[in-house]
Structure 1
Amino acid sequence: MSGAGSTAVNTLLPTSIVGSLPKPAWLAKPEVLWSPWELQGDALVEGRQDALRAAVHEQQRRGIDIVSDGEQTRQHFVTTFIEHLDGVDFEKRETVRIRDRYDASVPTVVGAVSRRQPVFVADAAFLRQQTDRPIKWALPGPMTMIDTLSDHHYRSREKLAWEFATILNQEARELEAAGVDIIQFDEPAFNVFFDETKDWGIAALERAAEGLRAETAVHICYGYGIKANNDWKATLGAEWRQYEESFPLLQQSSIDIVSLESHNSHVPIDVIELIRGKKVMLGAIDVAREQIETPEEVADTLRRALEFVDADLLIPSSNCGMAPLPRGVAFDKLSALSAGARIVRQELGVDVGVGAGVGVG
């Protein structure tokens, strides 16, 4: 199989995950975000492929319709991509404030950024070989990339974002050619830098997605279930309305799918109305706690969402990546997600395998 649109989901409410799955212990230390590899050299290459195979197997076994790599071949959802670019010095590091939330040691932009060769395309082609289901691949968005660096060259967040958007578009086009059906851009920075999102963030995102025949998605979340993010969430009050800043802009954009955090959050469900007409990848699984949702809890989240999005545009998913969770917990959450979606499909009078298609036809 090759080329965009090689596969399509014919299930109403097709399930998916939006980010990472936990890596096996022989590949990286369990329950640690961005853990170093336990293997080296050829053993690491083989180990990452084995982990990707296992992630695909578990997704399919647990009833996930749109399959991803679970980020098994990368340590970090942003910096693993940046590591492969020219113009960034990973030895020269500085401490910066990430998304106005926590301090982190990051690499430095020391020259013009460019991509000498594909970064994830070989891994995506390997994923394509493992399944006949539609596949989704995630890339960091331009604004989130610049927020994970110290820039000593461009001296302009906007200029650097546009450079990254061009590089991301090159990568996305090659991912599409490798058979990826949905290309997801992760932009948690959209929930923090509202003025930049409006002034150039959406435009840079559209540049990254320009000319693609594969479906495009943007994922905007409140972060992994780690202390820094949980502490920040505790300051946001009884209702989290950050999506009200970006959703009206995205509703008018060329992006096909908008992915948001919902279950067990303080995001008012009616914000989905702001992206009416777009496909909605709704987080119906909480990644900030180990308690496994019941299928009925998942179904209830989906039912409430259906007041604001048509059923043929709803994609049940996880809130964010699950890398810090115990592996068994993450997999059981996948089972709950698919079981909850099945309940709602049955209530809608639609059998599995019948419904609106997802993916490029």
Structure 2
Amino acid sequence: MKKLLPTSTAGSLPKPNWLAEPEKLWSPWKLEGDALTSGKQDALRIALQEQQSCGIDIVSDGEQTRQHFVTTFIEHLQGVDFNLRETVKIRDRYDASVPTVTGPVSRPKSVFVEDARFLRQQTDQPIKWALPGPMTMVDTLYDAHYNSREKLAWEFAKILNQEAKELQAVGVDIIQFDEPAFNVFFDEVSDWGIACLEKAIEGLSCETVVHICYGYGIQANTDWKKTLGSEWRQYEAIFPKLQQSNIDIISLECHNSRVPIELLELIRGKKVMVGAIDVASENIETPEQVADTLRSALQYVDADKLYPCTNCGMAPLPREVARAKLSALHAGADIIRKELVG
């Protein structure tokens, strides 16, 4: 029998300080060559063990083998020059120096498949693997070739589909596409964003997720959130279309956000990964706080479709904080499980 309210993380977990500088995005590796390869595998094992010791049900690699949730995937593609950089505004929020698309994009070989195979060998639990979504990839680059966000997104969707099929073949149970850009570019989401996502999941039999958050707990994101007012209704623009899409699960941010919980009514019938852990704060949630978030969500999500989760990735947090937050997620879900079956 499938477990009620299976817990998981939205993505990254902090890296050990011997592998990369902690509490930092795009942190450079401290190892190189064969030592880096084995170091990444050791870190993946540790991330898995930490999830297991905290009682997490659907486990991941904690993104231990990548520096960044978008650019590490793009680094392995042809047609993108990382030495030719331009400054662009990412997510309409902050300037960043990004690589340039100089020619047709393609994937010469798989990117994460060996890492996923390694994770599969370590555990019998369900495993989830995160990939960047097409729109978020487009938004993290300067395009000097296609000169069209949509055209480039369709090319990325085809590449992601190749990767996703190979991940499924090595035993990944759930494939997640990270699309924080869906909370910003509503017209594009409607015009081609969801269609590109459906291209990326074409032909998959494993479960698929789209993760749409308000970003990591970094300064640029927390500053942006302060401008959003007392109600964050961004999801309202995209939920009705996602409800009609072929994506199985929608992952979103709830705890300590100003998202009106009733917006979940717009995706009723879908499975929902409810973010019940705030990744923008080092305060540790109590199990009861987690339970409160889940209780609120249960007004709009059937219990067999609710997956307690974190709001976003936790790479920028101290490891002991991330661990304590995962334990709170497990304990909070347990409170609700007992209420539901009791």
State the TM bucket, normalised to the shorter chain: over 0.9
- 1:303-355 CA-to-partner distances (Å, cap 9, x unmatched) read 000000000000000000000000000011000000000000000116xxxxx
Tell me the distance in 2 between the aligned counterparts of 1:239 and 1:130.
Answer: 42
**Given the alignment of the two structures, is residue 131 of structure 1 paired with residue 109 of structure 2, yes or no?**
no
Counterpart position of 1:150? 142
Q: Output the CA distance in 1 between the equivalents of 2:211 and 2:282.
A: 22
1:340 — aligned with what?
A: 332
Q: Paired residue for 1:50? A: 42
Of 316, 324, 327 in structure 2, the residue corresponding to residue 324 of structure 1 is 316
Q: 2:219 aligns with which of 217, 227, 232?
A: 227
Equivalent residue for 1:243, pick from 228, 235, 246: 235
SS at match of 1:238: coil
Q: What is the CA distance between 1:212 and its match in structure 2?
A: 0.2
Aligned partner of 2:207: which letter? E
In the alignment, the residues of structure 2 paired with residue 182 and residue 103 of structure 1 have an alpha-carbon distance, to the nearest angstrom, of 33
Distance in 2, Cα, partners of 1:65 & 1:142: 28
Matches of 2:273 and 2:85, distance apart in 1: 35
Q: Residue 17 of structure 2 aligns with which residue?
A: 25
1:203 aligns with 2:192: no
Q: Secondary structure at the match of 2:157?
A: helix
| Local SS of the residue matching 1:66 | coil
**TM-score under structure 1 length normalisation:** 0.94
Question: Hey, what's the Cα distance between the residues in 2 that align with 1:336 and 1:95?
Answer: 40
Output the amino acid matched with 2:212: I
CA distance in 1, matches of 2:88, 2:30: 28
Alignment of 1:77-116 (within 5 A): 77-116=69-108
Quote how far apart the aligned CAs of 1:32 are: 1.1
Tell me the equivalent position of 1:253. 245
Unmatched 5+ stretches in structure 2: none
Counterpart residue type for residue 293 of structure 1: E
Q: Within 2, Cα distance between the matches of 1:323 and 1:176?
A: 25
Root-mean-square deviation over aligned CA pairs: 0.7
Measured in 2, the distance between the counterparts of 1:34 and 1:334 equals: 23
The answer to whether residue 209 in structure 2 is matched with residue 217 in structure 1 is yes
Task: For residues 246-296 of structure 1, give each alpha carbon's deviation from its aligned partner in whole angstroms, at most 9, with x where no partner exists.
Answer: 110100000000000000110011111110110000000000000000000
SS at match of 1:348: helix
SS of alignment partner, residue 329 of structure 1: helix
1-structure distance, mates of 2:186, 2:292: 31
Tell me what 1:307 maps to: 299
Q: Secondary structure at the match of 2:341?
A: coil
Structure 2 distance, partners of 1:178, 1:106, is 32
Aligned residues: 342
SS for the counterpart of 1:162 is helix
C-alpha separation in 1, matches of 2:335 and 2:12: 25
2:248 equivalent to 1:277: no
Map of 1:189 onto structure 2: 181
Which structure exhibits the higher relative contact order, with contacts defined as CA atoms closer than 8 Å and separated by 6 or more residues? 1
Equivalent position SS for 2:96: strand
Are 1:293 and 2:285 counterparts? Answer: yes
Aligned-pair distance for 1:99? 0.6
Give the counterpart letter for 2:193 in structure 1.
G
Deviations 1:159-199 (A, max 9, x none): 00000000000000000001000000000000000000000
Shift, 1:215, TM fit: 0.2
Letter in 2 for 1:328: E
1:180 aligned partner = 172
The letter for the 1-side match of 2:111 is V
One-letter amino acid of the counterpart of residue 86, structure 1: Q
- Provide the residue aligned with 1:358 in structure 2: none
